[in-house]
Amino acid sequence: GKVVELQARSPGERWITFRTVRASRRGRFATRYTFRQSGPALYLMRARVREADDYPYATGVSHTARVRVR
């Protein structure tokens, strides 16, 4: 499986990688994350896979998901 970088940001801020996971052979991945600061807050999250010699695609990112912490 490919290495998947999970990234988050607050609106207007830069993307930061908070977790790196490996996808299964079918391209699925999962993880858990506990927010350190209590809400309320809004985060934007995405997954990114980098270009590699063994991966015939350019670096790509998923659609952005909005996560609201209460």
pLDDT in tens, 10-25: 889 999 999 999 999 8
- pLDDT over 80 at 55, yes or no: no
> With bands split at pLDDT 50, 70 and 90, how would you rate the model's confidence at 52?
confident
Spatial distance between the Cα atoms of 38 and 51, rounded to a whole number of angstroms? 35
- What pTM value is reported for the model? 0.83
Identify the residue whose tokens are 């996971």: 21
